[in-house]
């Protein structure tokens, strides 16, 4: 099929810039517009991306010289900000040994160390680590673990998954099948994706008393569907891309008991919530439960390189292995550069910070508490703005929900004018700042969120 080419200069007028080229930025923008597909975008994209030249600390430096405080941590990943000397050194040092080797038949210290550390820091009982390339792939692996586990138990009829509405687990096909069926873009795939079991979204409040009726509904749904589901998969405590909603940890405890009673696996997707973001190092800790499988990603490498992990218990591993091998093995599994920087990043988060008059506290905890207090202060006045439906803060996450969809161009421009990078979606303007963001940075982010809210036409 032939499609008309977008109008624009011919191939010779948009060449890659050479050193000293005064039109460098314009040329890059033009080439980007013509050739580069950006996330959740058409071609050419509705909104031109900003050209970033470099980033350091919590600031992005644009090609036009402007500096923006990063309110997004590069989609929850860059928890230490940018160009952290310890992380830079970890990558450089590992590069001097090897950038990559295949993981089939070979192993190496960065991966072994990382696996051992993850076992140590995740909820007790998770002992085996499958390293893979991205969050979506770790969800694929977790689902495969669930399905293979049930096959190994002689239950081939358990081929479905169950989840609650409002979730998000990635953009590859099986993860999409457990994303909210109405939200995002996944409605495009109705009839293509495997049909899963959905219960209503958890009532949205972290602190209010749990809803007894909903607790009973969860338990009942697991019991009713136990013969057809291999696993229940949820994001614990914070549903991220599905709507930035927080829920009470009691629902996770109910799921833990109900799934255990029927030997249905419980998968926690902590790709967004892991590494301190919600105020606990892992969101599962709010509930005090261990899932059978845990997915990690995003901040695992401090946002330096793509890496994810699916951890499981010895029971899951034994159940799968009794029937054969786990049928997965990505090319870049256990990439040494990514593992090395993940080890360094976790080391920084866990480093003890002496506090006056009390026991030392981990660095991540000091930072997240400070950011949480700053966001609560800074966003309180936003709740009274016209058109703001809700303001909520948990750990280092701040959310402003409007009563109408965000105009992405207007909201982004307002935030950029206020010196902050935000990426609103649906009716949500939200932030997950890098942990080194200081009080002034957080105050600036809150002001930019207010400006973005006001900029959305009513
Ligand atoms: N699960 C959750 C909870 C996520 O937030 C994301 C990414 N937004 C994913 C899975 C998918 O991760 P990735 O984009 O690395 O594939």
pLDDT at 8 over 70: no
pLDDT tens-digit map of 317-335: 999 999 899 999 999 999 9
Mean pLDDT along residues 360-378: 96
Q: If you take atom 14 of ligand 1, which residue's CA is the nearest one?
A: 135
pTM for the structure as a whole: 0.96
pLDDT at 19 over 80: no
pLDDT tens-digit map of 151-207: 999 999 999 999 999 999 999 999 999 999 887 566 788 789 999 999 999 998 899
144 is catalytic: no
> How far does residue 453's CA lie from ligand 1's centre (Å)?
26
Structure confidence at residue 353 as a pLDDT band (50, 70, 90): confident
298 is catalytic: yes
Catalytic residue among 70, 269, 427, 441: 269
What is the predicted pLDDT for the residue at 115?
98
Q: Higher-confidence residue: 229 or 182?
A: 229
pLDDT at 138 over 60: yes
> How far does residue 272's CA lie from ligand 1's centre (Å)?
7
**Which ligand 1 atom is nearest residue 75's CA?**
8
**Which ligand 1 atom is nearest residue 137's CA?**
16
214 is catalytic: no
What is the predicted pLDDT for the residue at 11?
45
> How far does residue 279's CA lie from ligand 1's centre (Å)?
19
pLDDT at 75 over 80: yes
pLDDT at 262 over 80: yes
Secondary structure in 3-state letters for the chain: CCCCCCCCCCCCCCCCCCCCCCCHHHHHHHHHHHHCCCCCCCCCCCCCCCCEEEEEECEEEECCCCEEEECCHHHHCCCCCECCHHHHHHHHHHHCCCCCCCCCCCCCHHHHHHHHHHHHHCCCCCCEEEEECCHHHHHHHHHHHHHHHHHHCCCCCCCEEEEECCCCCCCCHHHHHCCCCCCCCHHHHCCCCCCCEEECCCCCCCCCCCCHHHHHHHHHHHHHHCCCEEEEEECCCEECCCCCEECCCHHHHHHHHHHHHCCCEEEEECCCCCCCCCCCCCCHHHHCCCCCEEEECHHHHCCCCCCEEEEECHHHHHHHHHHCCCCCCCCCCCCHHHHHHHHHHHHHHHCEEEECCEEEEEHHHHHHHHHHHHHHHHHHHHHHCCCEEEEEEECCEEEEEECCCCCHHHHHHHHHHCCEECCCECCEEEECCCCCCCHHHHHHHHHHHHHHHHHCCC
pLDDT tens-digit map of 275-286: 999 999 999 999
pLDDT tens-digit map of 430-441: 999 999 999 999
């Amino acid at each position: 099929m032939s499609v008309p080419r977008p109008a624009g200069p011919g191939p010779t007028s948009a060449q890659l810039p050479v050193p000293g080229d005064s039109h460098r930025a314009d040329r890059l923008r033009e080439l980007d517009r013509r050739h580069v597909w950006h996330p959740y975008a058409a071609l050419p994209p509705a909104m031109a991306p900003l050209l970033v030249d470099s980033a350091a600390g919590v600031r992005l430096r644009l090609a036009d010289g402007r500096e923006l405080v990063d309110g997004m941590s590069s989609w929850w990943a860059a928890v230490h900000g940018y160009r952290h000397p310890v992380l830079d050194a970890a990558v450089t040092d590992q590069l001097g040994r090897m950038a990559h080797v295949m993981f089939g038949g070979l192993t190496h210290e960065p991966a072994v160390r990382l696996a051992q550390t993850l076992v140590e820091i995740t909820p007790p009982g998770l002992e085996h680590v499958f390293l893979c390339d991205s969050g979506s792939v770790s969800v694929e692996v977790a689902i495969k673990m669930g399905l293979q586990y049930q096959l190994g138990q002689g239950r081939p009829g358990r081929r479905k998954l169950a989840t609650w509405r409002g979730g998000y687990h990635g953009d590859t096909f099986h993860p999409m099948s457990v994303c909210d069926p109405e939200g995002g873009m996944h409605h495009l795939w109705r009839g293509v994706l495997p049909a899963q079991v959905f219960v209503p979204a958890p009532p949205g409040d972290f602190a209010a008393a749990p809803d007894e009726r909903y607790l009973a509904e969860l338990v009942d749904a697991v019991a009713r569907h136990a013969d057809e589901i291999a696993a229940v998969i949820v994001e614990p405590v914070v549903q991220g891309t599905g709507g930035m909603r927080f829920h009470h940890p009691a629902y996770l405890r109910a799921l833990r008991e109900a799934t255990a009673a029927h030997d249905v696996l419980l998968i926690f997707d902590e790709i967004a919530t892991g590494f301190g973001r919600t105020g606990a190092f892992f969101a599962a800790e709010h509930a005090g439960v261990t899932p059978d499988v845990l997915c990690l990603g995003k901040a695992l490498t401090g946002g330096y390189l793509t890496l994810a992990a699916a951890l499981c218990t010895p029971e899951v591993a034994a159940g799968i292995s009794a029937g054969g091998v786990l049928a997965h093995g990505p090319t870049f599994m256990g990439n040494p550069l990514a593992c090395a920087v993940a080890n360094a990043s976790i080391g920084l988060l866990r480093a003890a910070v002496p506090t006056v008059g009390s026991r030392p506290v981990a660095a991540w905890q000091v930072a997240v508490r400070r950011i949480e207090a700053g966001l609560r202060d800074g966003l309180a006045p936003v709740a009274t703005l016209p058109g703001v439906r809700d303001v909520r803060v948990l750990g280092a996450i701040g959310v402003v929900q409007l009563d109408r969809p965000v105009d992405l161009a207007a909201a982004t421009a307002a935030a950029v004018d206020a010196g902050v990078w935000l990426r609103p979606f649906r009716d949500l303007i939200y932030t997950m700042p890098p942990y080194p963001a200081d009080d002034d940075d957080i105050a600036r982010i809150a002001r930019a969120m207010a400006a973005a809210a006001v900029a959305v036409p009513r």
